[in-house]
Structure 1
């Protein structure tokens, strides 16, 4: 049985950073922003929510009072910002950001995993474009959602949000996974609260109630662009089986291995070989195993390069 990785334990200050320019997306009752602004020293915080100002007042208690508190501490508060389309940020918002933080993202149709993946994928791609050179994207997810080896419970990949895969497609490496420091944040005023529709049909389907959620076992995932000193927390191994007719008498497994970029260090395993009794042609089947702790190996990157061979028909 594959051994699970162990999530780090970091203080909120270490995890979210003491200084720098930070963008907080998808805020609910703004209590996370309030807790964070008490930790930071000389940081420039921009806190945003998806709802319009009027919607936020209706959905969250003490919304206006909390916003006034934040503005009193120098935090810029924005409404109507879509984390999947950061062009909704006002044009005068200064970029790039040292931290882009999204706590417990959730699609309105919360039980449809593919929609949550789409939301997360769009957010990560948008965030990568606004990230400072040494910046990080930080996402907290509920227990089991992320689907990394750090989860306390093991789920089938299709039952998770596959956060590491989505990040690589956005050009980001998962560099750190920590336990969400809820206890520490709670002492600073953080309240684990979201909202949920009270009814699903008719006149009540747009009525919302503020309520908490179970965050036991939640993990915070930190992502960064590949670069000097950036190493993946748990490199993913890609496997791809190929079958082909050997047409070059100089072909060798080493040639196949060297046809990949050096940083991928592929492992080449011969699975099967066949020689045609009619014309003597030789066919081979190989398994290519590729992993890297410093590069984003996307679905496109896993395809084998051009080599001296013809696919077996």
Structure 2
């Protein structure tokens, strides 16, 4: 009987050991399954992050125009934006261009031009050289010797299209010995071909902006009428405020480093009809 009881105990122990091994095996299988699940989850999370990164990179590539990233990185100063391609015409000491470049941070969307040479500007304008150097560091293309009346044919500008073309305070020169009517014709002879060239250089929905004094003799230039002759219509005429463009100096031009009184003035904004 004793032997039989011992046998039964041994059998029970074997069964318990076998049961324990089976339970351990089951636990291992569960744990292994959980580890596989966790690994698969981690892989899916990583894959999702990779897809998100790819999408963000894709959006950045899509939004990148002329080296300027749109969206959150877009910067404005008045009606001008870092996402617009901008051509500036007839710059004096380049202080207006510098004001835009400073506001944008990255000025690779801008082309700033002057009729005068770099040597002339260095000799006659105190801040011209430093303004130009700053803009170039920010990616702005600066071109000298650009005639506003033939700029569409300039080798560095030919074929280019812009969202905004800006000509601030255009002036053909000082003609004190000539009659009022003769002076008027000379100034209009500057504006007509400028507008003709600018029309060829604006892109779809592009605008031509001319800031001009709006009193006395200057009103007789009839900027809006001249623009209409070139197939343009006046979208808006806004009072110009010098304080909107920190650092901008309205130079007299033609070798003078003095500023002129720019009030009252308006910025006339034109689009193709």
User: TM class, shorter-chain normalised?
Assistant: 0.5 to 0.7
Equivalent residues of 1:82, 1:88 under 8 A apart: no
Equivalent residues of 2:152, 2:159 under 8 A apart: no
1:16-35 alpha-carbon deviations (Å, 9 max, x no partner):
33421110000000000010
Alpha-carbon distance between aligned partners in 2 of 1:110 and 1:39, rounded to the nearest angstrom:
37
Q: Give the paired residue count.
A: 190
The equivalent of 2:123 in structure 1 is 58
Equivalent residues of 1:100, 1:137 under 8 A apart: yes
Deviation at 1:70, TM superposition (A): 0.8
Q: Look up the SS of the partner of 1:137 in the other structure.
A: strand
Alpha-carbon distance between aligned partners in 1 of 2:170 and 2:159, rounded to the nearest angstrom:
24
Q: Which of 192, 207, 210 does residue 136 from structure 1 map onto?
A: 207
Q: Which of 169, 172, 185 does residue 229 from structure 2 map onto?
A: 169
Q: Which of 260, 264, 271 does residue 217 from structure 1 map onto?
A: 264
Equivalent residues of 1:98, 1:131 under 8 A apart: yes
Q: Where do 1:254-265 residues align within 5 Å?
A: none
Alpha-carbon distance between aligned partners in 2 of 1:63 and 1:13, rounded to the nearest angstrom:
21
Q: Look up the SS of the partner of 2:77 in the other structure.
A: helix
- Determine which structure has the larger helix proportion and give its number: 2
Unpaired segments ≥5 residues, structure 2: 1-75, 177-182
The equivalent of 2:86 in structure 1 is 22
Alpha-carbon distance between aligned partners in 1 of 2:90 and 2:111, rounded to the nearest angstrom:
12
The equivalent of 1:113 in structure 2 is 184
The equivalent of 2:99 in structure 1 is 35
Q: Look up the SS of the partner of 2:196 in the other structure.
A: helix
Q: Which of 229, 244, 264 does residue 184 from structure 1 map onto?
A: 244
Pair 1:123 & 2:187 matched = no
Deviation at 1:13, TM superposition (A): 2.6
The equivalent of 1:95 in structure 2 is 160
RMSD between aligned residues = 2.1
Q: Give the alignment's TM-score, normalised by structure 2.
A: 0.64
**Distance 1:133-1:41 versus aligned 2 partners, 3 A rule:** farther
Deviation at 1:191, TM superposition (A): 1.5
Q: Look up the SS of the partner of 2:101 in the other structure.
A: helix
Unpaired segments ≥5 residues, structure 1: 1-11, 148-159, 197-207, 227-313
